[in-house]
Amino acid sequence: MAVETTETTVAGFTGRANLMKAVSIDPSTGAAISPTTKKQYTLLAGYSAIGSGPQVGPVDGGDYIWRVEATTWTGVTANLEFLKLDGVSWAPVLKADTSPVVATADASIGIGIAQGSIMRVRTSGAAPVNMNSALGGL
């Protein structure tokens, strides 16, 4: 672990300080993660049903693009949802304008996600054909 000594001023105090650089660790591998590494999470792959897809997470917080595509969308609505703090209920992800993140055709929608969120896609109306969905970090 690198320790760097530098001259610093904090709240009117000037002196020398030993600073340690923080490094994020990927819990699944134990490897260091570059601060420029962008995450991608697959939410659906080849999904063809009405209802809720699998839970995915916890997701690293930050800005993402939600991408969703399907071979057939006729009558399908896809909603991006997060698990509420009660650990039981689900709520729609909201865009900056407070409207829900919903798709009725292939879409890429920019959103912000809170650190540690559990996500899913819920479909309603008719069953999609071969729906794929992912969150891509910006």
Q: What CATH number should be reported for the domain holding residue 64?
A: 2.60.120
The domain of 46 spans 38-137
pLDDT at 86: 96
Burial environment of residue 136 by CB neighbours within 10 A (0 to 12, 13 to 18, 19 or more):
middle
pLDDT at 67: 97
Model confidence at 16, pLDDT cuts 50, 70, 90, reads low
Model confidence at 138, pLDDT cuts 50, 70, 90, reads confident
pLDDT at 1: 47
**Peptide bond preceding 128: is omega within 30 degrees of 0, i.e. cis?**
no
- Is residue 88, in this structure, part of any structural domain at all? yes
- Is residue 63, in this structure, part of any structural domain at all? yes
Separation between Cα atoms, residue 120 and residue 55, nearest integer Å: 5
- Is residue 26, in this structure, part of any structural domain at all? no
- Is residue 120, in this structure, part of any structural domain at all? yes
- Is residue 128, in this structure, part of any structural domain at all? yes
91-125 pLDDT, tens per residue?
Answer: 999 998 999 999 999 999 999 999 999 999 999 99
34-82 pLDDT, tens per residue?
Answer: 665 678 999 999 999 999 999 999 999 999 999 999 999 999 999 999 9
- Is residue 95, in this structure, part of any structural domain at all? yes
Count up the domains in the chain and report the number: 1
- Is residue 5, in this structure, part of any structural domain at all? no
Whole-structure pTM over 0.75, yes or no?
A: no
